[in-house]
Structure 1
Amino acid sequence: MPANIDRWPISKKPYFLYNAAFVFAVVLIASLFGILTRPMGLLAAVWPANAVLMAFMIRRQELARAECWLAALLAYLTADLMTGGEVYVTLWLTGANLTGVAVGYHLFKHLDAEDRQLRRPMSVVSMFCICGIAAATTGVTGSAASHILFGQSLLTGFAYWFTSDLVNSIIILPVILTAPSAGTLWSTLHNYEFRIRDWMPAATLALATTGGFLVGGPGAFVYPMPALIWCALAYNLFTTSVVTMAFCLASLIATATGSISSLPASNDTLVTVSIRLGMAFLALAPLAVAIVDSARNDLLQRLQHIVQHDALTGTLSRRAFLEMSEAKLAKGHSTRSVFFALMIDLDHFKAINDQYGHATGDFVLRNSTIAMSSALRSDDLLGASVEKNLRPSAM
């Protein structure tokens, strides 16, 4: 690295090295976590690396560059070789992982930004279809490797690879795709005030999950469904995604380690495949509810804004201004607060319309409003009333 790097133009600074280092670190950590969940010796019970890599590249497309793909390759190899893997086997398995990630990324890239961020009700369907195609690609490549390297049948190998990649993508992608920026997240956590009611849905889910594990049997995974739906209705999409991922990861690890009583042996192919598929479909329900609820809330906010604000100036409508003013006065009466009201009349406004046209009159109104708004505090109210003779009054 040149010693005078700080003197480089901003556009020429090697930020690509930072991106590559970030990808390497993230994939390495995710791969090591997955390797630690290998009770069966061949495939991990949870393999988050593919989903994490794909999600970050979807969200930050500047990461989908050659140096970042190379960094991901090195991270996969490093994680496997650190834990005793053979070079030839590791290369083939890594190729299967990267093939599925590449297919999923390129399919997601063609979606609208709102669908990539899971803001539309049909976004969850698009995500599921793309994850299914990417998992199938990984399954085809991985099953061939498993057949040649380990003597596993093609069908069995495909089932393991496909279901593992599918369920991990379904539960991990939403968390990264819907996560707020680091600054927003820190501000939210810093200003958060603890309230018991906020934690009740998550606590109920934890209790239902624990009870399901203790009772055991195939139905153990369905018992927490009402609590998951409650979380989807109580929390925003990102929080719901985090809660859903935590539940699914706990369930997958508990299944692989035999922690759930009365459950058939986890080394049975049909049982493992069935549980993973069931977990993937189960995760879709709270995600779909949260997405629909979020879209509904956004629509209601837009409608409320339209009702409460003037379309031309963006100020409060007469009705909204009076209602909010009355609420402020009622609240301030108990605290003996002092309020001031100012009414401004734009003189000779009709002459502007007559001489220069209504478009110019609209321009004057908007800029007058901007000038007034810039002089107000954050909790001040500004409303506009346009009279029939086109003489506006700002209050």
Structure 2
Amino acid sequence: MINGERRIERPLRWAMVGGGRTSQVGYKHRTGALRDNTAFQLVAGAFDMDFARGRDFGVNIGVAAERCYPDYKSLFAEEAKRPDGVEAVTIATPNGTHYEITKAALNAGLHVICEKPLFFKVEEAEEIKALAEEKGRILGVTYGFSGQSMLLQMRAMVAAGAIGDVTIVNLQYTHGYGCDPTGDKTNESQKWRVDPAVAGPSFVLGDLSTHTYYMSNLILPDMRIKELLCDRQSFVGTRAPLEDNAHVMMHYENGAVGTMWVSAVNAGCMTGQRIRIVGTKASLEWWDAYPTELRHEVQGQPGQILYRGTDYLDGIAKDDERLGALHVEGLSESWANIYLKFAIAMDAKNRGDEELLKDLVYPSIDGGLEGVRWIANCVKSAEQGSVWVKYE
């Protein structure tokens, strides 16, 4: 159980690029990183493209004015001159900037935590993975939902054979906030998401489905996609060629089949992320509206609900427990769990502890690279007329 005691010798000196006053995700990053004040300490940042606004924001959250920088280049250069310079940086900027900032951060000797999707191209992700390995740095990806402990319970139960052989994977991440296109022009956090030059080749496939796809890989680490078919739509026509709705069908190498529905135009939907894993003996289902519960349905028996924080769970789920059974936790705890693991991974890399890293489960560069690969294959299928394509 996590109780706030230090897991590494001292907090890592940490900075942010982006994540300022108008950011949709900046507070989530800080909540996650600073929940355990033994993991990270926020000491610097380039929080905003508007330097004056970014500096004012940084000072208001406790960062010294002289360590609030106008851009990432000056942040990296000036912090490198300090004996107490930053050791890790979070990149919470629009998609189109991730590659250049991540590359600069690794070349500056920093560990990196980056928003998803990592980059536009698989080749870029493979290049950055090689660079991180060359520099001996950790690159984590903020799949923020993936720190939910009941997902690890699903992983353990599948591995133990509790549901038999996996046959069907049903994934969904939908909401209705894209029904009104007004925000495409007026909302700072929305405008860039529907601009191909900044968002990349997809909207909801990159912004939403990569979360759920990563979680499916977390639960099913040994299953690989053989081929997929993606059918995507722009129901708000001004978003074309970017999609605001998509359906993906998958064939796995072990013979299992899967589906993903991802949408920003599921009118009225507020909690549309679900994962259902079906096996030959039983099924497991998790819904982010009830993140502390896991439904376990054995064929021929009454369905049961497993609850977070209880003694009957697997050790891998109990290790990430924070509050105890009956005390509701949510997305903030999930972010805190992955940020704590980022810190543990960075400390282990600094110490050369590859044995610890081998068994640590967290969203690493491999998960980020696979997310880029997922998007690329979905886009390829859709652009060829929604046909089956070999997963490459």
TM-score when scaled to structure 2? 0.29
Q: If each structure's helix is expressed as a fraction of its own residues, which one has the higher value?
A: 1
